[in-house]
Amino acid sequence: MSIPDWNAAATLHVRDDGGSEMQYNFTVLATGTLGELVRRVATMSSAERARVVIDVAGGKSLNVSEILALAAQEELP
């Protein structure tokens, strides 16, 4: 895995479970750098983490498994 831009602008979204199986509504939970939001998600309970995604500037969306993989990187600031 390549080293991400930890300072990239990012948005943490939480899924509203009121949506259908195929479509969910997302609410902005926080904004910050990718590094900040990855650390924040890593401290959440597994139930909380199951409902989040991070959108990174440039159009990349990260799911929970991708976020936790980033959290495990030694380069995480």
Burial 41-63 (b: 16+ CB within 10 A, else e): beebeeeeeebbbbbbeeeeebe
Structural contact between residues 38 and 76, judged by C-beta atoms closer than 8 angstroms = yes
pTM across the whole model:
0.86
Model confidence pLDDT, tens digit, residues 16-29: 765 555 556 788 99
- The domain spans of the chain are 9-71
pLDDT mean across residues, the chain: 88
Question: Which residues neighbour 66 within 8 Å (Cβ) at sequence distance 6 or greater?
Answer: none
Looking at per-residue pLDDT, the higher value among 69 and 25 belongs to 69
Structural contact between residues 68 and 43, judged by C-beta atoms closer than 8 angstroms = no
pLDDT the model gives residue 66: 95
Q: With a cut of 80, say whether residue 43 has pLDDT above it.
A: yes
